[in-house]
């Protein structure tokens, strides 16, 4: 079964997925990257040109394409918003939720110069909370395992995951 890492932007899905892939000699599929390769533009540009709803449709199509590929799948943080995706993840994957305190997420996102996250651009803390808080129960509901990543390195998180799901 595919191992899927879920969590908010900055939770470390891509980073931990890479560490895990190296440790287990499997491949990591970063769904955001697959989408970028397909659309030929950054996600932020796609949001500007086509809107979030169009992005979500595309994200669902790509999730279906890659869900049954063996390895580690790291989707974008909003993949859990669609009920269709929630059902797919619950039924067809082992799901690990990378849980992180909001302060730590904001610190990581602030320091991350390689990724631009359109949903968080120019948002106040209160506006970020409006996106973050309603997602928490969905992440928790879908997860087979929950790991608090706040004070752990990606290496430590990968080791916890391997203990939980075996390698
Ligand atoms: N456990 C950690 N401790 C400290 N920094 C971390 C940790 N995990 C990830 N980071 C850093 O936080 C930033 C965001 O990580 P990453 O891109 O892996 O998050 P993501 O969950 O894939 O986000 P998105 O949903 O936007 O794709 C990166 O700069 C990464 O180096
Ligand atoms: O959490 C989200 O809604 C998103 C997270 C990113 O990984 C991208 O998938 C996109 O910017 C949306
Ligand atoms: Mg990512």
For residue range 51-79, list pLDDT tens digits in order: 999 999 999 999 999 998 888 999 999 99
Q: How confident is the model at residue 144 (pLDDT cuts 50, 70, 90)?
A: very high
Write the DSSP assignment of 45-85 as a string of letters.
Answer: HHHHHH-HHHHHHHHHHHHHHHTTSSSEEE--TTGGGSHHH
Confidence at residue 114, expressed as pLDDT on a 0 to 100 scale? 84
DSSP 96: E
Nearest-angstrom CA–CA distance, 65 and 147: 27
**What tokens were used for 108?**
């990581």
Tell me: is residue 117 an annotated ligand-binding position. yes
Give me ligand 3 centre to Cα 31, in Å.
Answer: 8
Average pLDDT of every residue of the chain: 94
Ligand that lies nearest to the alpha carbon of residue 120, given by its number in the listed order:
2
Given this structure, which CATH class describes domain 2-165?
A: alpha beta
Q: Is 154 in the pocket of ligand 1 (CB under 6 A)?
A: yes
Note the pTM of the prediction, 2 decimals: 0.95
Atom of ligand 2 nearest to the CA of 8: 1
Confidence at residue 167, expressed as pLDDT on a 0 to 100 scale? 62
Q: Which residues' Cβ are closer than 6 Å to ligand 2?
A: 9, 32, 43, 76-78, 117-119
The verdict on ipTM greater than 0.95 is: yes
| Overall average pLDDT of the 132-161 stretch | 97
The string of pLDDT tens digits covering residues 10-47 is: 999 999 999 999 999 899 999 999 999 999 999 989 99
DSSP bridge partners of 97? 6, 146
Confidence at residue 68, expressed as pLDDT on a 0 to 100 scale? 85
| Overall average pLDDT of the 85-109 stretch | 96
- DSSP reduced 3-state for 95: strand
Give me ligand 1 centre to Cα 78, in Å.
Answer: 15
Q: Is the pLDDT of residue 1 over 80?
A: no
Q: Is the pLDDT of residue 120 over 90?
A: no
Nearest-angstrom CA–CA distance, 64 and 50: 21
Q: Closest Cα to residue 2, out of 63, 91, 71?
A: 71
């Amino acid at each position: 079964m595919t191992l899927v890492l879920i969590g908010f932007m900055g939770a470390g899905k891509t980073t931990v997925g890479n560490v895990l892939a190296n440790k287990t000699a499997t491949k990591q599929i970063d769904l955001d990257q697959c989408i970028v390769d397909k659309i030929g533009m950054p996600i932020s540009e796609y949001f500007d040109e086509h809107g979030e709803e169009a992005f979500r449709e595309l994200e669902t199509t790509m999730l279906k394409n890659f869900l049954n590929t063996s390895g580690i799948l790291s989707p974008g943080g909003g993949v859990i918003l669609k009920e269709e995706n929630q059902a797919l993840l619950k039924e067809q994957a082992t799901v690990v939720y990378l849980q992180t305190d909001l302060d730590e997420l904001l610190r990581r996102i602030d320091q991350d110069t390689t990724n631009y996250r359109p949903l968080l651009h120019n948002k106040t803390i209160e506006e970020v909370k409006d996106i973050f808080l309603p997602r928490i129960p969905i992440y928790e509901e879908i997860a087979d395992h929950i790991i608090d990543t706040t004070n752990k390195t990606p290496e430590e998180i990968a080791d916890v995951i391997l203990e939980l799901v075996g390698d």
